[in-house]
Amino acid sequence: MPQKSYYVSAFSKKILSSAIRDSFKKLNPKVLIKNPVMFVVEIGAVITTILLVKDLFLHNFKFISFIFQITIWLWFTVLFANFAESISEGRGKAQADSLRKTKTEVIARLLKINGREEKIKASQLRKGDVIIAETGDTIPADGEIIEGIASVDESAITGESAPVIRESGGDRSAVTGGTKVLSDKILIKVTSNPGEGFIDKMISLVEGASRQKTPNEIALNILLVVLTALFLVVVVTITPMAGYFHGYISPVILVALLVCLIPTTIGALLSAIGISGMDRLVKHNVIAMSGKAVEAAGDVNTLLLDKTGTITFGNRMAVSFIPAPGVNVNELADYAQLSSLSDETPEGRSIVTLAKQYGLRGRHIDEKNVKFIPFSAMTRMSGVDIADKKESVRKGAVEAVVKFVEQNKGTVDKNTIKNAEEISKKGGTPLAVAINNRMLGIIHLKDVVKGGIKERINSLRKIGIKTIMITGDNPLTAKAIADEAGVDEFVAEATPETKMAIIKKEQGLGKLIAMTGDGTNDAPALAQADVGVAMNTGTMPAKEAGNMIDLDSNPTKLIEIVEIGKQLLITRGSLTTFSIANDVAKYFAIIPAMFAPVFPWLAPLNIMGLSSPGSAILSAVIFNAVIIIILVPLALRGVKYKPAAASSILTRNLLIYGFGGLIVPFIGIKLIDIIITYLHLV
Amino acid sequence: MTFTGVFQMAITLLIMVIAAIPLSRYLSHVFNGEKTFLDFLFTPVENLTFRFLNVNKKEETDWVRYLKTGLIINFLMLAIVYFILKFQNYLPFNQMRYKGLSWDLDFNTAISFITNTNWQNYGGEEVLSNFSQMALVFLQFTSAATGLVFAVAFIRGLVRREAKYVGNFYVDFIKGIYRLFLPLAILFAVIMLWQGAPQTFSMQKKVTNMTGVKQTLSVGPVASMTAIENLGTNGGGFYDANAAQPYENPNPFTNALIIFMMGTIPIALFLMYGIMIGNKKHAWTLFAVAMTLIVVCLAVIYSQEASGNPFLSKLGANIHVSKNNPGGNMEGKQEHIGIAQTSLFATATTAFTTGNVDSAHDSFMPLSGMILMSEMMLNLIFGGKGVGLLNMLTMVIIGVFIAGLMVGRTPEFLGKKIEAKEVKLATLAMFAHAFIILIPFAITVAIPAGLAEIFNPGPHGLSEILYAYTSTVANNGSAFAGLNGNTLFYNISLGLTVFFGRYVPIICQVAIAGSLIKKKSIPESAGTFPAHGPLFYAVVMGTILLVGALTFFPALALGPIAEHFAMAEGHLFY
């Protein structure tokens, strides 16, 4: 788990104050035009301001208080929208700042072709340069180790303080600029020019500098623009209609109606929702290369899950001892433990742990008498020889141990062999333990499925996502794990090409695929997948191919990423629905008020019983502005999301945001009307 | 309201639905190119036509070509009919020597008929020769088929995956006319003939009536026109008064028959859509949405008309139902048809956007008038041939987009992603509809040329103008009588709104089909919300009411709603 996260709370004092400043800066029409809905509000506010000034100069004070209040609230509407965007950006900026601090100018030790070393500034390094890094050095740029092995502190990027091993060749050869070598010496070939490194990329992503509108956001924007145009048409036609009755409706009221009808709520919060969606990923220590990837995560139909690391812990663990006939289980546990004492592999440790359950504590062994036999691929066994007792204990592959017993003129009974086969069939791994010519029994090793994974896969199924487990294991083992984890499908004996084949097949069916990967041979599949999450511990090609990077390198997180993607889309849809549904109440507030002087018989439409035409219009405008601020936390946090079938999610959100959107403004406008009337504001 | 009244309405609607089911099956076979029991009859004739037109019936085109072909053929027919009406005095079957139409009336009439609108600024029997009438009948066939085949193209856009071609316009068009409209038109013309509608090439018949007075009756090929007028949801009748003229609508049975003719095919098209996309439940849900709207509209109109005008009651008129008194608001209605069937007729003619009328919509109660307008403003309650379905699906796309986001996925409709392009085109179609109604309406109420022709002052006058533009843009063609439309200003402005109201949405919608057809289809899962059932119903209904209808609220508020409340307060405008 991460010790440190770049996540910063939105409501810190610093962010708030800079957001308020930015809200005013964003009044600049050149900036605001990117948000057409709010741009229209700003134009409206400018119009009413001009009318207000005109009335001031003409000493026309009859409606001046009303016009003043409407004008103020229109400006507030724009400011509130700007504030929503600023505050979501502010958080990103703060995160970027804390990343930037890790990026101090370092001196690089450039290795020249003639073998000499030269100290230069990191900013002078170019792709292809070879540098040296030794204990205590900060690695000056992204690169690949071409020689050596070192333990590296990557906490600057991952927040994880435990050092990781980096070595030349293979999947662990990539190093990142800004990380620190803790021990040993390595030669690094630089792979990025200054300013293009991983940290730089991360900073610009977190900051939102390279933020582009996502496909759904673009589509939604079109809808909002057309709705705005539609209501513009509606409002424009009101003047001639009133003229038909020889009436006149003040442009201030028309502007007020327009602003209330156009979808300002969602228009104001749309970009904040998008930005905070990316932020939520950062909170989970995942960096998305684009907003598009976050959205695609919500759309995913199929998850490709690596068995090792994602579904299981990746290490086989001893789960039981099965003694041979005539052998006490305690004896078996005893010798199993003895043979594993020096076995530092996770399997070995798990045997020691299991043995403890039989009351066996770790013991002191006189090292003079004991010779540890390490595991080798040739013998496929490990163990100990105890010289004074003339005991040779062996633990290892069943055939190898059987051979060992037979070499010592012992015999192995059929039951033990059968037990071993049984374990293999269930997908486990049997290890035999023998002492001299006596077979003691079998240790059952098993790939242990991570806790809670079954529930998560179940909840994925509920939301219609298929899970495919990929493993290099044989079909038997794979099936056992697949059954235990509850995945929908599994592919055993997979090769690196298998992933690619599955992705292409599923995509051919029109599905979107997500996967995680870390190795170089995962890179093509990561690139092909719609959502490719590269592990930060992975190789550079893998990181470049994926569209997200998990700094914690925890593949199980794929599931959270999907949920965050969904939550982002849900928040957008819900607030759009809310915004549109609000119009009904606003119509009922403004239409009778607006037409009151023109056509007084429309009074029965004032079903809220608002006290006066002026207060009705003002209340609607105030509600329209205030609701933006009220919804900012929801936009930043996202609508609550619990995995469930689409229809039940929709029912819930339709009720809350659709039906609620109809009702809430009726109550809100009425309340504001009561307050306004009480304060004699109109 | 009487039990008989409700029963009459229910039974008529029920029969339409029952008849629509087998018809929908037949139509899906026709447009899927599958075998039908009538192939032996139609295939040879069709093949002959295709050979004559040099059309390869196996060749399909992309949406652009399909649309272009359709539009060019439409404009060509428009020109032909324009010249027929213009020069009818040089053409046959004109015993009365009627002169050619003035250019503006001709413009209005020709456009109105090619677009399936049939707004009539002329009195048919008094200005058109029988040849001209038959030219209009020709357009009644082709305009209905045009709307129908564009809907078929749209459906193919949904059904086909990663494809390009939406079909062959000529083939679909000819099939629509040969296999649907012609046979049904012949059948119903014969029934109308049997019920007493005239069918002759002569234009007048001199008779001596019962009181001994000599009278000249206008006659002509009425039965045949009445059949296609309603089957094609055209609505342009032979006579000025349409179905309020007894030769077009002789008795209560033909009244119900006309309703049946108007509604059965539009209902069948909804169901055909379900069969063609392989999701009948989805189509039945849309059917339920449209049917709910019809029933609600009908309920308002019938209750308003049956309870009548409180003013008349105050003045001492007996507006209560009794054995010898129909009660309610009988102004502008026919005694032998009665309030119930008149209400159903009016609801149907605006829902199915036919535009044929058997009563004066102008004389309905204010709220009834509002409902009639609302039906045309929505223009998707089954609607006209094909376009009703297209408009419904446009709303569905908008609704699915918003609601789809709420389940946390890029919205999908029948497995196809709804993205920026579809949203753009769908909202544009919706926007165009509202824009083309409201802007000309607003201009008209602001200029003397517009105001000079209204009959009633106050909100009712406003309603008259609003109704006119709504009716033309929705390609309905019914009129809120009262407004005199045969002026240069109205002929041109209504002609233009008819034109743009028809073609702009259609172009957008066929373009949507062109975009959808290229897409992959994503298999349905628990994560996609189902396009059927109560939830989908609520989404579609909510979108129609919130996005589609709210736009018109201010205009309706100052028109019929204002009139209603003023009436309740005891205020009259005269």
Please write the tens of the pLDDT for every residue from A176-203. Answer: 888 888 888 888 888 888 777 777 777 7
Most confident of A389-398, A405-414, B415-424: B415-424
In the block, tokens 């052998």 appear at A327
pLDDT band at A42 (very low <50, low <70, confident <90, very high): very high
Q: Strand, coil or helix: what is A514?
A: strand
pLDDT band at A436 (very low <50, low <70, confident <90, very high): confident
Q: Does A655 touch chain B (CB under 8 A)?
A: no
Find the mean pLDDT for residues A115-134. 86
The Cα-based distances of A406 to A402, B48, B351 in angstroms read: 6, 92, 93
The string of pLDDT tens digits covering residues B462-478 is 999 999 999 999 999 99
Find the mean pLDDT for residues A650-663. 94
Which of B504, B551, B558, B567 should be substituted to probe chain A, the one whose Cβ sees the most A Cβ atoms within 10 Å? B558
What radius of gyration, in Å, describes the C-alpha atoms of chain B? 23
Cβ neighbours around A121 below 10 Å, total = 12
Q: Give Dmax over CA atoms of chain B in angstroms.
A: 79
- 3-class DSSP string for A582-602: CHHHHHHHHHHHHHCCCCHHH
Strands A130-134 and A185-190: antiparallel
Q: Residues A393, A365: contact at Cβ < 8 Å?
A: no
**A566–B409 CB contact, under 8 Å:** yes
Find the mean pLDDT for residues A403-420. 87
- C-alpha angle A7/A8/A11, rounded to 5°? 145
**B420–A215 CB contact, under 8 Å:** yes
The string of pLDDT tens digits covering residues B255-284 is 999 999 999 999 999 999 999 999 999 999
pLDDT band at A208 (very low <50, low <70, confident <90, very high): low
Q: Residues A354, A371: contact at Cβ < 8 Å?
A: no
Find the mean pLDDT for residues B411-421. 91
Cβ neighbours of residue A396 closer than 8 Å, sequence gap 6 or more: A375, A379, A380, A381, A382, A383, A431, A432
**B402–A577 CB contact, under 8 Å:** yes
The Cα-based distances of A34 to A77, A221, A579, A581 in angstroms read: 16, 10, 20, 24
pLDDT at residue A362 in the model:
58
The string of pLDDT tens digits covering residues B518-563 is 998 887 777 788 899 999 999 999 999 998 788 999 999 999 999 9
Measured between beta carbons, the chain A residues lying within 8 angstroms of B454 are: none
Number of A:B CB contacts under 8 A?
217
pLDDT at residue B54 in the model:
93
Q: Does B457 touch chain A (CB under 8 A)?
A: no
Q: Quote the CA–CA distance of A274 and B522 in Å, as a whole number.
A: 25
The CA distance from A505 to the nearest CA of chain B, in Å, is 13
Is the pLDDT at A163 greater than 80, yes or no?
A: no
pLDDT at residue B423 in the model:
96
Q: Residues A590, A616: contact at Cβ < 8 Å?
A: yes
Please report the DSSP string for A596-651 in residue order. Answer: TTT-GGGGGG-TT--S-HHHHHHHHHHHHHHHHHHHHHHHHH--------HHHHHH
Q: Quote the CA–CA distance of A440 and A355 in Å, as a whole number.
A: 14
**B427–A576 CB contact, under 8 Å:** no
The CA distance from A223 to the nearest CA of chain B, in Å, is 7
By CB neighbour count within 10 A (0-12 exposed, 13-18 middle, 19+ buried), where does B565 fall?
buried
Q: Does B521 touch chain A (CB under 8 A)?
A: yes
Q: Quote the CA–CA distance of A393 and A371 in Å, as a whole number.
A: 10
Q: Quote the CA–CA distance of A289 and A272 in Å, as a whole number.
A: 18
The Cα-based distances of A134 to A473, A538, B47, B300 in angstroms read: 39, 22, 86, 86
pLDDT band at A381 (very low <50, low <70, confident <90, very high): confident
Q: Quote the CA–CA distance of B405 and B387 in Å, as a whole number.
A: 27
Please report the DSSP string for B546-561 in residue order. Answer: IIIIGGGHHHHIIIII
Q: Quote the CA–CA distance of B226 and B234 in Å, as a whole number.
A: 10
What radius of gyration, in Å, describes the C-alpha atoms of chain A? 34
pLDDT at residue A625 in the model:
96
Is the pLDDT at A60 greater than 50, yes or no?
A: yes
Measured between beta carbons, the chain B residues lying within 8 angstroms of A649 are: 406-408, 529
Of the given ranges (A107-121, A264-278, A620-634, B154-168), which has the lowest mean pLDDT? A107-121
Q: Strand, coil or helix: what is B469?
A: helix
DSSP 8-state symbol, A128: T
pLDDT at residue A231 in the model:
95
Is the pLDDT at A96 greater than 90, yes or no?
A: no
Across the strands, what pairs with B231? none
Q: Quote the CA–CA distance of A99 and A206 in Å, as a whole number.
A: 9
Q: Strand, coil or helix: what is A560?
A: helix
Average pLDDT over chain A, rounded to an integer: 86
Q: Which amino acid is at A476?
A: L
pLDDT band at A11 (very low <50, low <70, confident <90, very high): low
Which one is predicted more confidently, B484 or A265? Answer: A265
Helix (H) or strand (E) holding B252: helix B252-277
Measured between beta carbons, the chain B residues lying within 8 angstroms of A650 are: 403, 406-407, 529, 535, 539
CA dihedral A236, A241, A246, A250 (to 10 degrees): -30
Of the given ranges (A158-172, B117-131, B424-438, B479-493), which has the lowest mean pLDDT? A158-172
The Cα-based distances of A187 to A157, A166, A173, A615, B538 in angstroms read: 21, 11, 11, 75, 65
**B406–A653 CB contact, under 8 Å:** yes
Rounded to the nearest angstrom, the gap between the alpha carbon of residue B169 and the centroid of all alpha carbons in its chain is 22
Please report the DSSP string for A260-320 in residue order. Answer: HHS-HHHHHHHHHHHHHHHHHHHHTTEEES-HHHHHHHHH--EEEEEIIIIIEEEEEEEEE
The string of pLDDT tens digits covering residues A322-374 is 888 888 888 888 888 888 877 777 788 888 888 888 876 656 555 567 788 87
Q: A306 catalytic, yes or no?
A: yes
Measured between beta carbons, the chain B residues lying within 8 angstroms of A253 are: none
Which of A244, A265, A460, A590 should be substituted to probe chain B, the one whose Cβ sees the most B Cβ atoms within 10 Å? A244
In the block, tokens 């990929």 appear at A470
**B571–A601 CB contact, under 8 Å:** yes
Helix intervals (H) in B87-221: 103-114, 124-127, 130-159, 169-176, 182-195
Is the pLDDT at B247 greater than 60, yes or no?
A: yes
pLDDT at residue A289 in the model:
82
Which one is predicted more confidently, A96 or A104? Answer: A96
The CA distance from A572 to the nearest CA of chain B, in Å, is 7
Q: Residues A379, A350: contact at Cβ < 8 Å?
A: no
Q: Quote the CA–CA distance of A461 and B299 in Å, as a whole number.
A: 45
pLDDT band at B574 (very low <50, low <70, confident <90, very high): low
Find the mean pLDDT for residues B417-438. 95
Strands A130-134 and A429-435: unpaired
Strands A174-175 and A143-147: antiparallel
Domain positions in chain B: 3-279, 281-568
Share of chain A above pLDDT 70, in %: 95
Across the strands, what pairs with A322? A442
Is the pLDDT at A3 greater than 60, yes or no?
A: no
- A367: tokens are 């090292």
By CB neighbour count within 10 A (0-12 exposed, 13-18 middle, 19+ buried), where does B183 fall?
middle
Q: Residues A387, A370: contact at Cβ < 8 Å?
A: yes
Q: Quote the CA–CA distance of A648 and A644 in Å, as a whole number.
A: 6
Across the strands, what pairs with A130? A189
Please report the DSSP string for B79-109 in residue order. Answer: HHHHHHHHTGGGSSS-TT-PPPPPHHHHHHH
**B402–A576 CB contact, under 8 Å:** yes
The CA distance from B416 to the nearest CA of chain A, in Å, is 9
Q: Strand, coil or helix: what is A570?
A: helix
- φ/ψ region of B58 (left if φ > 0, alpha if ψ in -120 to 50, else beta) reads alpha
**A565–B408 CB contact, under 8 Å:** yes
Marked catalytic residue, from A306, A447, A473, A518: A306
pLDDT at residue A2 in the model:
39
pLDDT at residue A366 in the model:
59
Q: Quote the CA–CA distance of B399 and B393 in Å, as a whole number.
A: 9
pLDDT band at A4 (very low <50, low <70, confident <90, very high): very low
pTM of the predicted model, to two decimals?
0.88
